[in-house]
Amino acid sequence: MSLEQDILAGNNRLAERNRGWLAGRNIVAFNLVSSPGSGKTTVLERTLRDMGGEIPISVVEGDQETEFDAERIRATGCRTVQINTGTGCHLEAGMLAQALTELDPPVDSLLMIENVGNLVCPAMFDLGEHTKVAILSVTEGADKPLKYPHMFRASSLMVLNKIDLLPHVDFDVDACIAHARRVNPDVEVLRLSARTGEGMDLWYDWLRRRMDSRWLAEPASYGERAGA
């Protein structure tokens, strides 16, 4: 327990430095978290193609191995840095600091961080982001928010992706939302399909609202967002 506390304390110090670096450049950063296969990369691809000309967007891609997802993002023309964690199951603040040096995102822009697919460890590690966005697909269980409460408690938004598949899967949308709000009463919820485009306009509006300079001026502390 003492070792875990030391690791988290060191990470949190670096995260605060990242937060200050981002704030000084008026860059809003979102940490996209999910289990593998939720469709994070597809959501990002469509977002970049639809909004890339409106808002400058940079991407940090996190995976244990390969650059497959980074290659998909680069194909959209977006500035992208890949972080491979090896045996690690999450990104850490120090990794993001190095990525920011290489990426050098422009001022007054949006930074998307696609974390390693994992609903456990990324919940514990603040990167210096403004908030986490949990992406859950309807091909997963509706009970995920109760099974992994720390992740959904730490996220400001839950995106239910792949809603085009609802007629073909046994997924209770209302129950899933109720479970998420049981662990985080303030969590916002969006329903969309990155494949068909349904609901993506709501996601874009959510991003635009949070690019507002008044929201950027006073980002919540990690403890407040995580419910500590």
- For 41-50, the pLDDT digits (tens) are 999 999 999 9
Question: Does residue 187 belong to any structural domain of this protein?
Answer: yes
Report the domain count for the chain. 1
Tokens 């303030």 appear where? 186
Question: Does residue 226 belong to any structural domain of this protein?
Answer: no
Model confidence at 143, in pLDDT bands (50, 70, 90)? very high
Question: Does residue 225 belong to any structural domain of this protein?
Answer: no
Summary mean pLDDT of the chain: 91
- Give the pLDDT of residue 4: 56
Its domain, for residue 32, covers 2-216
Model confidence at 37, in pLDDT bands (50, 70, 90)? very high
Distance (Å, whole) CA 47 – CA 201? 10
Question: Does residue 9 belong to any structural domain of this protein?
Answer: yes
Question: Does residue 227 belong to any structural domain of this protein?
Answer: no
- Give the pLDDT of residue 191: 98
Q: Say which CATH number the domain at 124 has.
A: 3.40.50.300
User: In the structure encoding, which two tokens stand for residue 83, read together?
Assistant: 């972080």
Whether the pLDDT of residue 220 is over 90: the answer is: no
Question: Does residue 221 belong to any structural domain of this protein?
Answer: no
